[in-house]
Amino acid sequence: MSIKGAAFRVAFAAGLRPWRSHRSAFPVPYWLLSPSVVPLVVIVFIPMVFAIYISLTALNQNTIGNWTQAPFVGLKHYLDGLDPRGPLAPSFYTSIKASVIFSVATTLFIHTIGVGAALLLNGNLRGRTFIRAVMLLPYIIPTFVNGILWRLVFMTDTGIADQIQAALHLGPRDTFWLIGPRSLWALILADVWASWPFIYLMALAALQTIPADVYDAARIDGATPIRIFRRITLPLIAPTLGLGIALSTINHFNNFALPYVMFGPTPPDEVNVLPLNIYVNSFITFNLGLGAAMSVVALVIMLTPAVLYLRAARVGDAD
Amino acid sequence: MARLLENSVTRRRFLQVAGMGAAASVAVPGFLEACAQSANAPSTGSPKPATLSLYVAKDTARPQAQAQLFDMIKAQFEKENPGSSFTYDTYASAGEETTKLETASAAQEGPDIFEFGSTLVPTAYATGSFEVFTNDMWNHIGGKSIFFPPQLTMSGPSPDKLIAVPVSGNPWAMVHNKAMLQAAGISKVPTTWNDFIDAAKAMTNGTDRWGTAMAPADGFDPWHKIWLFATQMGGQLMDSTGKKGLLDSNESVEACAFWLDWMAKHKIAARQDAAFKGADEVRAFATGKIGFSVMAGPGGIGTWDNSPVAGQYEYTLGPTIPYGMSSLPSGGKPAQGFVSGQYYTLFKYSKNQELALNLLKVVVSPEIQYQYFNLRKQQPVVLDTFKKYPELKQGNWAALYDAALKAYPTPFFAAWGPLEVELGKAINKIASQIGISGSYTMTDLKSALTQVNQELQATL
């Protein structure tokens, strides 16, 4: 008897059925999933398929009235943007670079601030509830209001940023924050201010799931606060922080409203992030085919942190 | 149901059903839309009472005046068309305007009437989603001859293919601060760019008083100025076929350099202007900080009349002789500005086209046109209005009237939109350099213009 045959016999003896029978015995979950699968297909997958199709066509102002007949141009838009010799490559790569720097830097800063704030407010602190509520304020302010506020802060000469800088003798009063290389810092600062409470909330929730007796045991054993943080707190909140990093990277990479409000449709290169570039191509210059191609590339880039997180967290594994 | 749950449903079966569902979700709306279209054919009889929908530009400077004007239009329209009325929705940015245009064109469903700015009319024409006006349609609203002639040049690619009815004008002229000019000992408004630079230098103290201002970070201002200077030099930003960008031509480079030199070389504009948008320039003039504002439309009047410069400013025609020249070069045009204003178009898929024409007739009546001036400080576009209301050609409005007569149309190309964006990118980049370092090189400027022209070319 072969080893495979023996395995089947053992399985039958244990009351288990082979895979084929197992499959047909569980139809119900599929039907139960369908109420969420159908909207997902209609809202996400069909538009995604359309976007891929559009990226292969010359859909623009001349063809949008009859968009199903837009001429097929194959990979032209992808080559224009991705081929280093392509006419749109400088703009495209500049945007990818801007988006990556912006999303990584913002994610780094908001995690440092968010975790720090959560650690601070996880203990017994007077007025903790009030402080927690105040800390959420930046997060609930609408993005476009946030953009306008920070644009005013960074106005050359008259903005608060320049005035504080000049008062503290850190730099001249006519420093440009909304144009040139500093515009990236202006954008990062504005976004960090608005989004760190998201990580703070996640970290605080994770911290509150750690049983107090774990800390008590560590203290009895003589562990220092730094050692407790490194060996107990950080490992236990790491899965939550991993999710935070993945979501934050994706959210900031896709942030359109803030850079648009702060810098408009012709931003400096440093903050010409991919969503802004896609918007300008699609909705200002009517080059929808190119905009769709850039969106598909952005999707592929964004799959990277998502896949890394799923692999790290082993989401979907039964065990 | 129990049988359904009990019966085995394989993955294959599940995917088959889901696939059919997905296909149906795509096909059914298309089918329904096709059915609806056949019912959308324009009526040839007298229009049935209905409520029209309009999509118009928001008057961000005077929203109340806009609401008041629409109330007047509605009262008149409802009086002339018993049982009918209209509603309107507004857009506050070019992005909203184009997004709505795209979605309506793709879905073949949208408002009965769209309002567009003059430079978006070619794009609207290219979509094929708007009704080309026949002579009967023009006659229905009073005929083509009732309009200020230059305005019709942006209504369509040729006189027999007009899609847009002018409703208000936005002429470009130069405005100056009379007190600053007088204090600098200048008695005559400059007519050449050499004189302009000299006068602006005389008004500049380098700290809180400047000859002029710039708005290179604006989405539109850069192409306005570069088009003006290039046109006066005899150049074009795009060739006559609309298939070749000329942003890197000698005239374009010279035009850009002349404008950027206001900050970098002549120092008649503050370095801080590098981050300015159009509204910042209007504010700078309102505070008495700058002497000239070049290519200013009537939009600033409302702000300036309620500012320290009220009664102290004057519109005139701007200089037309290029810098360093004593007369116009060969091919150069004495342009003051381009034909600019707002237009109403009739959506091709509207079920209420005839009624919409009745509304357009009300909007272009001299009485309502006067209210565009009276309430919203915009220039009317119907000739009878100027005859009936003399104040439309008096004071500052006299110069604006002259400027409107001398306006040149921009090429009627749908690719003008991308051109505006690309040129803005190059100007923004070099202006940033000037703002930060105080200077730029011609090599950098040429390189930036070559790059954006290449990008523009890829979209043509």
For B308, residues 6+ apart whose C-beta sits below 8 A from its C-beta are B286, B287, B288
Tell me the sheet residues that pair with B338: B408
Separation CA B450–CA B439 (nearest Å): 20
Average pLDDT over residues B377-385: 93
Residue of A nearest to B123 (CA): A61
Checking if the pLDDT of A23 tops 70, the result is no
Taking a C-beta distance cutoff of 8 angstroms, is the pair A80, A287 a contact?
no
- Tokens at A92, concatenated: 């495209």
- Give the model's pLDDT for residue B41: 39
Separation CA A213–CA B23 (nearest Å): 57
Closest CA–CA distance from residue A286 to any residue of chain B (Å):
8
Average pLDDT over residues A125-144: 82
C-alpha pair distances (Å), A230 with each of A111, A227, A238? 16, 5, 11
What is the secondary structure of B289-310 as a DSSP string?
-EEEEEEE-GGGHHHHTTSTTT
Domains of chain B: 51-170+339-405 (3.40.190.10), 173-338+412-459 (3.40.190.10)
Closest CA–CA distance from residue B331 to any residue of chain A (Å):
29
- Give the model's pLDDT for residue B14: 45
Residue of B nearest to A155 (CA): B275
Separation CA A304–CA B280 (nearest Å): 42
DSSP 8-class letter at A70? P
Residue identified by tokens 């066509």 is: A57
Closest CA–CA distance from residue A178 to any residue of chain B (Å):
7
Coil, helix or strand for B204?
A: coil
Residue B174 banded pLDDT, cuts 50, 70, 90:
very high
Residue B44 banded pLDDT, cuts 50, 70, 90:
very low
- Give the model's pLDDT for residue B60: 84
For B426, residues 6+ apart whose C-beta sits below 8 A from its C-beta are B247, B256, B445, B448, B449, B451, B452
Buried b (16+ CB within 10 A) or exposed e, B68-93: ebbeebbebbeeebeebebebebbeb
Coil, helix or strand for B345?
A: strand
Residue B318 banded pLDDT, cuts 50, 70, 90:
very high
Taking a C-beta distance cutoff of 8 angstroms, is the pair A189, A150 a contact?
yes
Comparing CA positions, the residue from B357, B359, B362, B364 lying closest to residue B137 is B357
Instruction: Characterise B228 by phi-psi region: left (phi > 0), alpha (psi -120 to 50), beta (else).
Output: alpha
The helix or strand, by DSSP H or E, that contains position B386, with its residue range, turns out to be: helix B383-388
- Give the model's pLDDT for residue A315: 54
Q: Which residues of A touch B218 (CB under 8 A)?
A: 264
- Give the model's pLDDT for residue B178: 95
Separation CA B460–CA B411 (nearest Å): 14
Comparing CA positions, the residue from A285, A261, A284, A259 lying closest to residue A272 is A259
**What's the distance, CA B320 to chain centroid?**
22
Comparing CA positions, the residue from B304, B133, B295 lying closest to residue B226 is B295
DSSP 8-class letter at B119? G
Q: Which residues of A touch B219 (CB under 8 A)?
A: 264-266
Residue of A nearest to B419 (CA): A285
Of A41, A178, A266, the CB nearest to B219: A266
CATH class of A83-313: mainly alpha
Residue A25 banded pLDDT, cuts 50, 70, 90:
low
Q: Which residues of A touch B127 (CB under 8 A)?
A: 61-62, 64-65
Separation CA A171–CA A159 (nearest Å): 13
Taking a C-beta distance cutoff of 8 angstroms, is the pair B328, B334 a contact?
yes
Checking if the pLDDT of B411 tops 50, the result is yes
Checking if the pLDDT of A134 tops 70, the result is yes
Burial class (CB in 10 A: 0-12, 13-18, 19+), B334: middle
Closest CA–CA distance from residue A23 to any residue of chain B (Å):
7
Q: Give the relative orientation of helices A288-313 and A46-55 as an angle to the nearest 10 degrees.
A: 130
Separation CA B256–CA B413 (nearest Å): 22
Please indicate whether, in this complex, the C-beta atoms of B95 and A279 are within 8 angstroms of each other: yes
Q: Which residues of A touch B21 (CB under 8 A)?
A: 38, 41
Coil, helix or strand for A123?
A: coil
Closest CA–CA distance from residue B178 to any residue of chain A (Å):
26
Residue B12 banded pLDDT, cuts 50, 70, 90:
low
Separation CA B96–CA B58 (nearest Å): 11
Of B18, B129, B421, the CB nearest to A280: B421
Taking a C-beta distance cutoff of 8 angstroms, is the pair A276, A267 a contact?
yes
pTM of the model: 0.79
Please indicate whether, in this complex, the C-beta atoms of B18 and A41 are within 8 angstroms of each other: yes
- Give the model's pLDDT for residue B36: 39
- Tokens at B197, concatenated: 């630079």
Supply φ then ψ for residue B314, to 5 degrees: -145, 135
Please indicate whether, in this complex, the C-beta atoms of A286 and B22 are within 8 angstroms of each other: no
Residue of B nearest to A266 (CA): B425
Closest CA–CA distance from residue A226 to any residue of chain B (Å):
44
Of A34, A60, A176, the CB nearest to B435: A176
A127-141, B28-42, B371-385: segment of lowest average pLDDT: B28-42
Closest CA–CA distance from residue A39 to any residue of chain B (Å):
10
Separation CA A46–CA A53 (nearest Å): 10
Taking a C-beta distance cutoff of 8 angstroms, is the pair B45, B81 a contact?
no
More confident: B404 or B13 = B404
Closest CA–CA distance from residue B39 to any residue of chain A (Å):
18
- Tokens at A316, concatenated: 């979907």
Rounded to two decimals, the ipTM of the complex is 0.76
Checking if the pLDDT of B238 tops 80, the result is yes
Of A25, A179, A288, the CB nearest to B435: A179
- Give the model's pLDDT for residue A314: 67
- Give the model's pLDDT for residue B45: 52
Given CA atoms A241, A245, A250, A256 in this order, what sign does their dihedral have? positive
Tell me the sheet residues that pair with B315: B175
Q: Which residues of B touch A88 (CB under 8 A)?
A: 455, 458
Checking if the pLDDT of A279 tops 60, the result is yes
Comparing CA positions, the residue from B339, B354, B394 lying closest to residue B149 is B339
pLDDT tens digits, one per residue of A180-197: 889 999 999 999 999 999
Of B95, B127, B435, the CB nearest to A265: B95
Residue identified by tokens 């993945």 is: A246
Name the residue ranges covered by the structural domains of chain A. Answer: 3-55, 83-313
Average pLDDT over residues B111-120: 92
Q: Which residues of B touch A30 (CB under 8 A)?
A: 9, 11, 14
Q: Mean pLDDT across chain B, nearest whole number? A: 87
- Give the model's pLDDT for residue A285: 83
Q: What percent of chain A has pLDDT over 70?
A: 90
The helix or strand, by DSSP H or E, that contains position B376, with its residue range, turns out to be: helix B366-376
Please indicate whether, in this complex, the C-beta atoms of A65 and B106 are within 8 angstroms of each other: yes
Please indicate whether, in this complex, the C-beta atoms of B428 and A268 are within 8 angstroms of each other: yes
Separation CA A226–CA A229 (nearest Å): 5
Instruction: Characterise B52 by phi-psi region: left (phi > 0), alpha (psi -120 to 50), beta (else).
Output: beta
How many Cβ atoms from other residues are within 10 Å of residue B36's Cβ?
Answer: 13
C-alpha pair distances (Å), A208 with each of A49, A133, A212, A231, B40? 42, 17, 9, 17, 62
Separation CA B203–CA B212 (nearest Å): 9
Please indicate whether, in this complex, the C-beta atoms of B271 and A27 are within 8 angstroms of each other: no
Residue B7 banded pLDDT, cuts 50, 70, 90:
very low
Q: Give the relative orientation of helices A182-207 and A128-135 as an angle to the nearest 10 degrees.
A: 140
More confident: B94 or B370 = B370
Separation CA A28–CA A31 (nearest Å): 5
Checking if the pLDDT of A7 tops 50, the result is no
- Tokens at A311, concatenated: 């692999």
Q: Which residues of A touch B428 (CB under 8 A)?
A: 179, 266-268
Separation CA B273–CA B222 (nearest Å): 12
Burial class (CB in 10 A: 0-12, 13-18, 19+), B263: buried
- Give the model's pLDDT for residue B94: 80
Average pLDDT over residues A78-94: 87
C-alpha pair distances (Å), B428 with each of B212, B416, B434, B449? 18, 18, 10, 11
Please indicate whether, in this complex, the C-beta atoms of B429 and A174 are within 8 angstroms of each other: no
- Tokens at B318, concatenated: 């701007």
Checking if the pLDDT of B15 tops 80, the result is no
Tell me the sheet residues that pair with B51: B85
**What's the distance, CA A97 to chain centroid?**
15
**Beta strand pairing call for B210-212 and B51-57:** unpaired
Taking a C-beta distance cutoff of 8 angstroms, is the pair B396, B310 a contact?
no
Checking if the pLDDT of B18 tops 50, the result is no
Buried b (16+ CB within 10 A) or exposed e, B435-458: bbeeebeeeebbebbebbbbbbbb
